[in-house]
Each structure stands twice: as structure tokens, then as C-alpha cells.
Structure 1
Amino acid sequence: MAEKIFLNIIWHMHQPYYYDSSRDIFTFPWVRTHATKDYLYMAKLAEQFPQVHMTFNLTYSLLKQLDLYRQGKTDLVWNHFMKNAKELNQEEKEYILTQFSLAPSKAQTRHFPFYENLREKAKHDLSDFSIQDWLDFQILYQLLWFDPITIQDNPNLSELIQRGKGYTEEDKIIIQRVTQQIIAEIIPMYKKLLEKGQIEITTSPLYHPIIPLLIDNWIANESSPGIQLPRYRFQYSKDAEVQIQKAKEVAEGIWKTKIRGIWPSEGSVCSTTVNCFVNHGFSWTATSEEVLFHTLGLPIVRDQNGLLNYGEKLYQPWLFSHEKNNIVIFFRDRHLSDLIGFAYQHFSSTEAVNDLISNLERIMNRLPKDSDPIISIILDGENAWEYYNNNGFDFLNGLYEALSQHSRIIPITPSEYLSQSIHRPILNRLKPGSWIYGSFNTWIGHEEKNWAWDQLFLVRKLLEKKEKELNEERKKEAFNILYQAEGSDWFWWLGSDNPSLQKEDFRKQFLLLLKTICDVIGEKYPGEG
């Protein structure tokens, strides 16, 4: 039995790059909605428990867009919200009916019964939709996206929610002011926690690309033998290097501190990727248990309680040592991470907290006494909570309280752990893979995903050919758009594994980026679509 365990919680915060510079607007609202519901909220909740140390991974793509909102940029949903309900035309009403119905879960809407009534009413008979109904629908949809701490701290916002319907155009100003205030507070709040030493800040490659696939997208065959590969082999390690280098430079500029850790987009790694991290000054990284066990050639087997065979191999960092490059890798416990991400939303908050603590204690009791184990729980820090009651507040508050009081479970950041722990086993290679089943199948292999890779290849090849003819301004613009198009999210939504009503919108946005590159360099788009 181990005397204690360290707990490495990493909350990953990311949004695809939705800002369309050609129209000077965000095409989707999700940066803003998660800003008002999650990003400030998660930091404020952490602040209440200073003993609970944790890590926040904030991607450049997210931070850049938050800054654009702070400067006054808006999104299409917001503009339709601010439009006077009396002046809405038919096209705008149709947009509102579609986009303002995209509330992800019953947990998020159950406290807004009139919103649910309006959404149901809109499915059947719009002729009975009054101007007041349109106004209420506009406002209620925005009210869905505020967290409980913000609501409690803002009496005017709380009153709007309690009122439930019968809103006025002036009520929109309250929502506007609170939204602006939240967005302005996010970065300073994380800086405050960072300066106190409670959190560590990390970054991911610039626009969240799958780095191993940028280096060589046919590497997917190593983790999934026989996978259908794209027609063209995309091999641009230079792009991978730039996405890593610039992410570190920008992050250190924002946070005014050395960034030691990098979370690979989607936990995607290979030996070459990790070597790139070393070359750009990172001292640690992380990925998922599948990569470790596939590398070691061991099966992933859990008992009925979720306890892992070979747990002593997972619950320690490994030193990746290759060609004189050394970097520490933490491997997440997928079972525990997925309990928070997907399962505990169906539990009461007390049951969920007790279950997680019990899981941690069972792991601790199975590990050797003289070990110095660390359990890594790594997951998205914004996407799970809308499926929990009260935006996950009761669960997170209860969990942090339990961890604060537990004498043998020590929340810690990776850099803190590495400063006091020396022994690390060595890996000389990594099996390529990601945190999704240890493969890259989420981003490559399906006909639609492969189509996207081929379109990207054709434009990248054209840019390579034209690069020397471009002046510095056009070259910089073209490559910046290219790096956006290399982001993982465009490939994620294609195919059949992640169905979405907005799939076609994502495909169009991806194509727009590629065609904009061609416009910038003065060439005809070489692809399809």
C-alpha cells in the first residue's frame, strides 16, 4: 500500500478558430458561450480551494479569440440576439430558430421552462409566435450560457433568470455588460492563480493540429494497420515545428513566465513529435494510457472496479530519452478521466465525489509502499459541465473540498511533482497514437477526412511553390491561414464518428480557409468543393 498518492489534474481549454477575418465576425458563438459559462467559472471555483493545485491548458486558438472578443468583435449569434425583435426579418427569424435551439442538454435547459416551451412551439406553429416570444427566445438562449457563480454574483442577471419571460429590449444591455465583464476578467484571473502558485499553465500547438499527422499523415497506419490513407502523403514537419514554437512564444508572452509543459492536441504523439517538444524547450508533456501500453506491448485490462493491471506502470511519469533528447511524459488514467467527462453527470454530486475518491484510494492501496505514484486525470475543462446539474458546480465544489481534506491524496502540478521526484523509468520510443483509443482514426481514414487531407495537401503544395514569389506580408498572411486550416477540429467533424448538425458549416469553414490562402497568393483553388 502506498503511503500517499499525488493527483495531477489537467483541464484542457480549447476552441477551434471561428473568427472569419474576411467578414470580421465569428461564425460560431462557442468561444463566447464557454467564456461566460466555463472559463472564468473554472478559475473562480479553483480559487476557493488554494490547497488544490491543478493545471490549465489554454490553447492559443482560444486565447486569441478571447482577445478579439475583448476588443469588441462579435459573432453571428450575438448579432441576432442584439437585433430588436420588432425588426427581425424572415431570414433572421429562421436563423434564430435554428441556432438558438442548439442547447446541448436537458440539464442546461430544465431551469428555463419557457425556453423549452418556445423551442417546442417553434417546431409546430410559427404563426402564433409573437414579437414578445421572439424577444424572450433571444434572451433566454443567452441566459443558458452563464455559470452559477456569475449568476450568484450578479443580482441583475439573477433577476432576469428568475423572471423567466416577459423581457424587454433593455434587458439585453444587462447580458451585454456581464458578458463583456467576464471576458475581460478571464486572463487576469488565471494570472492571479498562477502568481499564487496554485496552478500551472500549459499550452498546445498553435491552432491545435495533430502534430504527428503534420509530420507524416501516413503514420496513421502504424497505430491502425490497414487504415485507408489519403491519396496524397502530407509531410510538412516544418509546419509542425512552427506550430509548436509559436505556441510557446505566445504563451510565455501572455503569462510572463516560462511554460514548461505542453499538452499535444488530442494527446497525439509519436517519437518525432516528442523530440520536437524537447527542441523547443518543453520539459514535460502528457498523453493517454493507450499510448503507454501500446508502446510497452501490454494489454489494458481492468477489473470490475476499474482497477488496472500493471497500474504501477501507469501511475508514474516516464523519461522519454531518444537521440540525446530527454522529456518527461505523464500518462492519463482514461477510466477516471472519462468518469468525470461522461459518467458522473448521471450521478448525484455526493455519489460522484465519493466514487472518485474511492477509486483513488483503491489505486493507492494496490500500489507498492515505497512508490511515489502520481495519477493523471486529464480532460476537457469546458465541455462536460452542461450535462451536469448546476453546470457541475456541486460536483466540482464537493471534489475540491474532499481533496482539500484528504491527508493521503495530494493535488499537485506536473512541474511541482518533477521538482521533488527523481526516479523515472525510460522509454526510447513511442507508439504513435492519441488519447482517443490510441489511434488517429478520429482525424484520418474516413473518406471525408481523407478528402480534407488531400485538399490541404494540394493547397500546401501550391503555397510551397509560390512561397519565394510572395512579399513578407502576403507570405505571413497565407501561412497564418494555413496553420488555422491544419487544426484538428476540421477533420474531427467530418466522417460519421462525431455527428453534428453543424458538420456542413465546419466543412465550408475549412474550405473557406483553403480558398482564402489561394486568394492571398493569387492562385486558383486546386482542389474540390
Structure 2
Amino acid sequence: MKQLNLVLLWHMHQPDYRDYVTNEFVLPWVYLHAIKDYTDMAYHLEMHPRTKAVINFVPVLLDQLEDFSTQFSTGEIRSPLLRLLATPDLEHISIQDRLYVFDSCFLSNHTTMLQPYPAYKRLHELYQMFNKRSESELTYFSGQYLADLLVWYHLAWMGESVRRNNEFVMKLMAQSQGFSYENRLQLFNLIGELIRELIPRYRKLAESGQIELSTTPHYHPLAPLLIDFTSARDSQPGVALPEHQLYPGGRSRVAFHLASAISSHTQRFNEQPTGIWSAEGALSSALLKIFAEQNCQWSASGEGVLANSLQASYPDAPLPDRTEYLYRPYQVDGESGQVICFFRDDQLSDLIGFEYAKWFGRDAAENFIQSLERIYHGTPAGENPVVSVILDGENAWESYPYNGFYFLDDLYGLLENHSFIRTTTYRNYIADTEKTNMIRILPTLAAGSWVYGTFSTWIGDKEKNHAWDMLCAAKQSFDLVMQSDRLSEEKKIEASRQLASCESSDWFWWFGDYNPAHSVASFDHLFRLNLMNLYRLLKLPVPPALQESISKGNEQNEASSAMRRSS
């Protein structure tokens, strides 16, 4: 009987938010997404054991989760917001700490994470009365107000599965105000417990065969651009490039990130990853060769990359209907041919990422199933299509009521009981010899990403290119110092880790006036801080240009830009 193979790949990633000089976490997003999204995503899989999925963990995220676990074990908390949550006397904290609480504890989707909670909403209304506040006026907010605000912020960021199943959390929400130090400390300890349980929960799901765990080059670099800036011209022939023609030693840096990822994944999960999700789904022929050298069996990207590649491979032929080419695996002709490539259904992925949050959960789940059924009936009778739905496993749910609880519960329930839709993983799909006749050869791979099928989100405009030039200059200095005797071996390792963090794709994502100003300011600051720390570790003077902002963002655009549509 004909079957539709569905691969759900949930990509879990946060960039490195640590300041390697102070060891402080500059931003709280790792632990907040941990207690909200990574807990919920594990829960839904545990509740639906016949639904399979691929979970992609970026190693730098796992590094930070383990860092938080260590902090809770030792009591040496290096995240300011967590430290304040567990501070006994909030009445007499510094004005700087008060400002930090106010600036942090209303950062969320207010429609889904603030307005549903009257007590939290009231705290926000009181704060807005002082929206043109002076520092002296902030002292009017009592320690009890700060305590309630800290508790409610963390309750709003708590996973729905925790809110529904943890008696202590239910009691706090029913209490709604007047939270004591003991309440705050117990909430603090619960956060630590949830984070410590995460990696073991996913390891158990993998050991049962329900999920496949994949990885990404360690610090999430935009690998094709590290290898060759001109790969951006595969999809945008006229795009402007940085003044530096190449990122110095880029291929070896990508090999480093990949080898480090495979090593850390193997240590954590007791097996090597079968596949690699490149950061941002960014692929090029040169990158696939590196994957092949590390015995990678599969990788994946966006539908736009496949369409561009088919047009480059067959320039005289019109692009056929997507049902004729999208729902099958490919191998790229040449040295990288052993890596099987899958391409996501951008439309289905974007429905989950951007549209279904506006629907009732059951309606959205049924619509998704109906879309899969149309694909099933629209593909040739003799083929078993493979449909790839790939998106962030954390950022979409903030826009959903109840963190997407009803949508995911209904979706997984419908999938595990469907007569001809089979959820699977890429590893299992490849291992099924009956599927090998579905693989097609792709003569040319046009480099690109899952966003627009291009690299325009990371390179091409003045601000992004300026950031690349700053990074290239730092890498040139790094290479010179590494070849000298200026640093001890220990300091060289520290500098190499700092460089790896500077190479993350995330910094370049946020530069540009289409992003919200408050987010741009945070990531702009952290990118420049990383570069400054690198120069200091190299014992070199910090270039004055690093004191100046690269990008300002858009004051009028306050919507989250942590995800981007495919087209």
C-alpha cells in the first residue's frame, strides 16, 4: 500500500550568551526556552510514543544547558535574572538591578504570555504608569512588587506541560500575588530541576527509537559563507560582498565546528549522529564534501534551495509542479554524492511557524493532516513520498495560546492513528531499502538557506558586510597570534573558543533595519563584546571601531524576528 513518510525535524538552538571574561550570561533565553519549550516538546513526544521525529540540538545550546545545571548544583548563579529570583531581600537591591528587572520581565509576547494572567497584567499596568520614570521614581516600587514580577515572568515562561502537572506551579498561579521568598526559592529550584532533566529525557526518547537526534556544526556558523563568500551569488548573482574576499581559513574552521559537534554529540548521547542540519539549513557543494568526509549520511535544507538547484541544473527546462520534485531525497552529483539531501516543504513548515497560532488547535491540526493527504493523492501512484517539515522547536510557540499545547497534542494524536501517513526519521527512512529507488541525482547544488533560498539574511547589505569585515580582521589577528609563542596552550584554547562564538550565524541575522531595535541592540552589543574579548585574549589592542554600534534596528518594528518565512 502506498504510504506518505512524514519527517518532523524540530531544530533547537540558542546562540552562546556567555561573556567569557566575566562568565556571566548576558541574556536569559537559554534557560527560559528550556523551561518553556524544550520541556513541552519532550512531553508531547512522551505522551505520543508512536509519533516519531528528528530533534536537532546545536551543541552550543547543550553546552549552556549543562552550564546551567552546574550553576544550580554549585549555587554559583551567573545569570542575573535567576540570581535576583533567589535574592532574599529585594527591597534594597541596587537601582541597576531594579532597572534590569523592569527591562527584562516584560519581554515576551504579551497577547499569549501576559494578558491571559490578570495579576501579571496588573503589574505591567502599574509599571506603565511610570513609563517616563526617573531612577529615583523606581524606588517607589516595593520589594513585594519586584518579587511578584519576577515570579510571574517565570510562570509565564513555564511550559504548559509543567503548569498542568506540577502542583506547586498550580498553587503559585492560584495564589497570584504576595509571593514570599520561600515561594521564589522553590520556583528557582524547580527551574534547576527541569533543566537538569532535559538532556536525559531526550536521550531516553532516542534510546527508545522514537526520535533521532541530529546535530549542527558546534557554534552554529553560516558554514557555506565561512568557506566562500561568493557562494552567496549562486542564488543572488549581483549581491554585494564584504571587502575581504574570503574568510581566512574558513574551510578548516567549518571542519573544526563539525568535528567538535560530532564529538560532543557522541559523548552526550552515546552514538555518533547520522545526519547534520547545517545552521540555517545552509548548504553548498563545498560544505557537503566536508560532511561526506565525516561520514554524514544525510543533511537537509529549504525548498527554495532545491528549486534554485533544479533551475541551475536544467536551465532550459521550466520548473515542474512542486509535487513532481519536492517529496523525494536527492544526492548531489560529485564528491558529496554519498550525503542524501532532503528539502523541506516550506509551505507546511511556515503554516506551523506563522499561521496556525491564529487557529484553534484542533482545526490547525486537521488542516495540516488534510494538506498531507492532498500531497499523498497528488504524487504518482508508485511512489511513497517523503515530506519534510522543518522549523525551530522553540520560537513559534510563544505566539500560540498555551504554548501550542492543543495544536501539538492534537497533531501528534492524529498522526499516530492515521492509516497511510507514517511519521519517521531520516535515519530510519534511509535504512529502509524500499525507499532507495526514490533517490534522484541533482547535477548542481545552488548554495542557499531555508530563508528565501538565499543567504540575504546574513550577507549583502552594508551592516552585515561590515560585521563580516570586522570578523575577518579579527580572524587574521587570531591566525598571527596562534602562529607565535605569545600565548600558552591554555590561552590558545580559550581564544579558539571565543573565536568560535564570534563565528555564529546569529549575529549577522539580527543586523538590519527590518529587525526590532531592542533585539538588534542586544545582539549587536554581544557580537562586539565577543570580538573585544577575543582581542583581549590575544593580548592585542581592541580596535576603536568595536566601540560603535553596527546596526540600530527599527524602533517602529517591535515584533519578534527570531524566525523568518521561507519566501
Shorter-normalised TM range: over 0.9
Shift of residue 325, structure 1, vs aligned partner: 4.3
1:82 to 76, 86, 91: 86
Shift of residue 500, structure 1, vs aligned partner: 4.2
Shift of residue 497, structure 1, vs aligned partner: 3.0
Q: Please give the residue correspondences for 1:273-422 in structure 2 after superposition, counting only pairs within 5 Å.
A: 273-297=287-311, 309-323=321-335, 325-420=337-432, 421-422=435-436
Shift of residue 3, structure 1, vs aligned partner: 2.4
CA RMSD of aligned residues (A): 1.7
Shift of residue 258, structure 1, vs aligned partner: 2.2
Shift of residue 219, structure 1, vs aligned partner: 2.3
Q: Please give the residue correspondences for 1:22-421 in structure 2 after superposition, counting only pairs within 5 Å.
A: 22-72=21-71, 73-83=77-87, 84-125=89-130, 129-235=141-247, 236-297=250-311, 309-323=321-335, 325-420=337-432, 421=435
1:475 to 478, 489, 492: 492
Between the aligned partners of 1:520 and 1:429, the Cα distance in structure 2 is 42
Shift of residue 247, structure 1, vs aligned partner: 0.7
User: TM-score, with normalisation over the residues of structure 1?
Assistant: 0.95
Quote the residue 1:19 is aligned against.
18
Give yes or no for contact 2:282–2:450 (8 Å, CA) kept in 1: yes
Shift of residue 445, structure 1, vs aligned partner: 1.4
Between the aligned partners of 1:231 and 1:328, the Cα distance in structure 2 is 35
Between the aligned partners of 2:476 and 2:378, the Cα distance in structure 1 is 54
Quote the residue 1:6 is aligned against.
5
Alignment pair present for 1:429 and 2:429: no
Q: What amino acid maps onto 1:274 in structure 2?
A: L
Between the aligned partners of 1:245 and 1:497, the Cα distance in structure 2 is 35
Shift of residue 405, structure 1, vs aligned partner: 0.9
Give yes or no for contact 1:321–1:426 (8 Å, CA) kept in 2: yes
Q: What amino acid maps onto 2:440 in structure 1?
A: P
Aligned-residue identity in percent: 34
Alignment pair present for 1:458 and 2:473: yes
Q: Please give the residue correspondences for 1:471-510 in structure 2 after superposition, counting only pairs within 5 Å.
A: 471-510=488-527
Equivalent residue pairs, number? 520
Between the aligned partners of 1:372 and 1:515, the Cα distance in structure 2 is 53
What CA deviation, in whole Å up to 9, does each residue of 1:341-388 have, x standing for no partner? 110000001110111001000111111110021000000001111111
Name whichever of 140-149 and 496-505 sits farther off. 496-505
Shift of residue 522, structure 1, vs aligned partner: 1.5
Q: Secondary structure at the match of 2:394?
A: coil
Between the aligned partners of 2:288 and 2:519, the Cα distance in structure 1 is 34
Shift of residue 150, structure 1, vs aligned partner: 1.2
Give yes or no for contact 1:157–1:174 (8 Å, CA) kept in 2: no
Q: What amino acid maps onto 1:290 in structure 2?
A: G
Give yes or no for contact 2:85–2:185 (8 Å, CA) kept in 1: no
Q: What amino acid maps onto 1:329 in structure 2?
A: C
Distance 1:42 1:426, change over 3 A: same
Q: What amino acid maps onto 2:65 in structure 1?
A: L
Alignment pair present for 1:515 and 2:532: yes
What CA deviation, in whole Å up to 9, does each residue of 1:200-241 have, x standing for no partner? 000001100100110012322332122222111233211111
Shift of residue 337, structure 1, vs aligned partner: 0.3
Shift of residue 167, structure 1, vs aligned partner: 1.3
Name whichever of 466-475 and 272-281 sits farther off. 466-475
Q: Secondary structure at the match of 1:269?
A: coil
Shift of residue 527, structure 1, vs aligned partner: 6.3
Q: Secondary structure at the match of 2:213?
A: strand
Give yes or no for contact 1:81–1:139 (8 Å, CA) kept in 2: yes
Shift of residue 298, structure 1, vs aligned partner: 8.3
Q: Secondary structure at the match of 1:258?
A: coil
Give yes or no for contact 1:442–1:497 (8 Å, CA) kept in 2: no
Name whichever of 184-193 and 422-431 sits farther off. 422-431
Shift of residue 498, structure 1, vs aligned partner: 2.7
Q: Secondary structure at the match of 1:502?
A: helix
Name whichever of 162-171 and 467-476 sits farther off. 467-476
Between the aligned partners of 1:419 and 1:447, the Cα distance in structure 2 is 46
Q: What amino acid maps onto 2:61 in structure 1?
A: L
What CA deviation, in whole Å up to 9, does each residue of 1:146-180 have, x standing for no partner? 11211222211111012211211211112111101
Between the aligned partners of 2:94 and 2:302, the Cα distance in structure 1 is 49
Q: What amino acid maps onto 2:23 in structure 1?
A: D
User: TM-score, with normalisation over the residues of structure 2?
Assistant: 0.89
What CA deviation, in whole Å up to 9, does each residue of 1:276-326 have, x standing for no partner? 111111100000110001000189xxxxxxxx9231311011122313641
Name whichever of 475-484 and 186-195 sits farther off. 475-484
Quote the residue 2:74 is aligned against.
none
Distance 1:339 1:323, change over 3 A: same
Q: What amino acid maps onto 2:190 in structure 1?
A: V
Between the aligned partners of 1:6 and 1:518, the Cα distance in structure 2 is 50
1:524 to 541, 548, 557: 541
Give yes or no for contact 2:159–2:403 (8 Å, CA) kept in 1: yes
Q: Which runs of 5+ in 2 are unaligned?
A: 72-76, 314-319, 547-567
Q: What amino acid maps onto 2:530 in structure 1?
A: L
Give yes or no for contact 1:459–1:525 (8 Å, CA) kept in 2: no
Quote the residue 1:302 is aligned against.
none
What CA deviation, in whole Å up to 9, does each residue of 1:232-259 have, x standing for no partner? 1233211111111111111111110121
Name whichever of 56-65 and 231-240 sits farther off. 231-240
Give yes or no for contact 1:455–1:527 (8 Å, CA) kept in 2: no
Q: What amino acid maps onto 2:112 in structure 1?
A: A
Q: Secondary structure at the match of 1:322?
A: coil
Between the aligned partners of 1:369 and 1:159, the Cα distance in structure 2 is 55
Distance 1:248 1:527, change over 3 A: farther
Give yes or no for contact 1:13–1:59 (8 Å, CA) kept in 2: yes
Give yes or no for contact 1:224–1:439 (8 Å, CA) kept in 2: yes
Q: Secondary structure at the match of 2:339?
A: strand
Q: What amino acid maps onto 1:341 in structure 2?
A: G
Give yes or no for contact 1:492–1:498 (8 Å, CA) kept in 2: no
